[in-house]
Amino acid sequence: MKLDLERIFKGVVLSLVFLGLSGGAIFAVNQFISSNFLTAGILAVPASLNEEGENLNQQPAEPPAQDFIEPAEPEDNLTIYAKSAVAVETDLAGKDKILFEKNADKKLPIASLTKLMTAVVVLENYDLIQNVIVSEKADSQDAMQPDLKTGDIFSVTELLYFSLIRSSNKAAYALSEQIGQEVFVDLMNKKAAEAGLQNTFFKDPTGLSPENVSTAKDLQKFAEYIIKHYPEVINITRTKKLNLPNLGEIENTNEILGEIPDIMGGKTGFTKEAGGCMLLIRKNLSTGGFFIYVILGSDDRFAEMRKLIMLSNL
């Protein structure tokens, strides 16, 4: 009887051990199957796929942490920041098409764009081969590099070129002195009225005075007047370089010359009060007419002139 009980007890113990081992083995097998077969895709849950074949059940990996970067402002290449601007297509026969304008009727200082009117008055009233001696008063005007000095002798034509190409204030003033500056400036204002420039006024022949004012539209109209009546002024302003006695080679202040096709001429200007100013004339090869561009009060007259030309082509 005792032996039977011992056998029964050992049988129970062995059964329990066997069951325990079996359960552990089954658990291990299940873990093995789950980890390896699922990885292999054999027992994976059927995936839902989008149109591109991507698994919609798959969770995207979390991106690594990055430092915050302020998004860049969108680049605005064609905004005109000048105080005033106009672009016009004209046939010089009264048919003008405005391509772009901004505050085109606003009166503003025009700096050395003044010298376009100085040139017209000289052409109407002077002997171009006459010699001019540079006075101390003329020499006291704001200087360019290179520039005139007291006692220099140049012809009216040479001074005219120098005032338009290099924007020499000394040359413009020396020219005005030949008939007296006050008389000269009076002739400038009379010519402005004759040309229909109702919002244009001149105080000096150089443009240094902030009282020399006009509007972009007036200057566009004046450009048309010059093309029709004084094309030699436009011819002078497209001269890129010129050699003058005792001054050497002078270079045009208009850096766009030679860069943009079909430029006929123009004039630059700058003073602290006026900011950057520019007038440019291009030939319209498709019609035989002209494009006239004016910018007043700019922090970057050349960059904005390029933008104005691009805008007028859109």
The H or E element containing residue 132 is: strand 131-133
How high is the pLDDT of residue 258? 87
How high is the pLDDT of residue 14? 41
Residue 69 lies inside a defined structural domain of this protein: no
Q: How far apart are CA 276 and CA 85, in angstroms?
A: 12
Residue 48 lies inside a defined structural domain of this protein: no
Residue 112 lies inside a defined structural domain of this protein: yes
Least-confidence region, from 64-68, 138-142, 238-242, 300-304: 64-68
HSE value, Cβ hemisphere, 13 Å, CA-based, for 218 = 26
111: left (phi over 0), alpha (psi -120 to 50) or beta: left
Long-range contacts of 155-160 (CB under 8 A, 24+ apart): 155/128, 155/129, 155/130, 155/131, 156/122, 156/126, 156/127, 156/128, 156/129, 156/130, 156/131, 156/132, 157/128, 157/129, 158/244, 158/245, 159/132, 160/119, 160/122, 160/123, 160/128, 160/236
- Phi, psi dihedral angles at 135 (to 5 degrees): -85, 170
Q: Is 241 a catalytic residue?
A: no
Average pLDDT over residues 158-181: 97
Average pLDDT over residues 225-244: 96
Residue 8 lies inside a defined structural domain of this protein: no
146 prior amide bond cis, ω within 30:
yes
Residue 34 pLDDT more than 60? Answer: no
How high is the pLDDT of residue 90? 96
pLDDT band with cut points at 50, 70 and 90 for residue 76:
low
Average pLDDT over residues 140-168: 96
Residue 57 lies inside a defined structural domain of this protein: no
State the DSSP code for 55: B
Question: Residue 214's beta-bridge partner residues?
Answer: 108
Residue 268 pLDDT more than 70? Answer: yes
Average pLDDT over residues 201-221: 98
Average pLDDT over residues 77-104: 94
Contact by Cβ (8 Å): 176, 137: no
Given 83, 102, 163, 167, which residue is catalytic? 167
Q: No. of H helices and E strands in the chain?
A: 9, 11
pLDDT band with cut points at 50, 70 and 90 for residue 43:
very low
What is the residue-averaged pLDDT of the chain? 82
Report the share of the chain in percent with pLDDT over 90. 71
Report the share of the chain in percent with pLDDT over 70. 76
Residue 15 pLDDT more than 50? Answer: no
How high is the pLDDT of residue 137? 97
Residue 68 lies inside a defined structural domain of this protein: no
pTM above 0.85, yes or no: no
Residue 88 lies inside a defined structural domain of this protein: yes
> Can you tell me which residue has the tokens 């026969």?
93
Neighbours of 265 (CB within 10 A): 24
6 or 259, which is more confident? 259
Domain count, the chain: 1
Least-confidence region, from 31-40, 170-179, 256-265: 31-40
Given 83, 102, 115, 217, which residue is catalytic? 115
Residue 65 lies inside a defined structural domain of this protein: no
- Phi, psi dihedral angles at 291 (to 5 degrees): -110, 135
In terms of residue numbers, what domain contains 188? 84-313
Q: Is 115 a catalytic residue?
A: yes
CATH number of the domain within which 277 lies:
3.40.710.10
Span 85-98, pLDDT tens digits: 999 999 998 889 99
Least-confidence region, from 41-45, 119-123, 189-193: 41-45
Q: How far apart are CA 99 and CA 111, in angstroms?
A: 25
Q: How far is CA 252 from CA 173, 230, 243, 256, in A?
A: 19, 20, 11, 10
Q: Is 10 a catalytic residue?
A: no
Instruction: Please tell me the total number of residues recorded for the chain in this structure.
Output: 314
How high is the pLDDT of residue 313? 84
Q: How far apart are CA 151 and CA 206, in angstroms?
A: 20
Span 296-307, pLDDT tens digits: 999 999 999 999
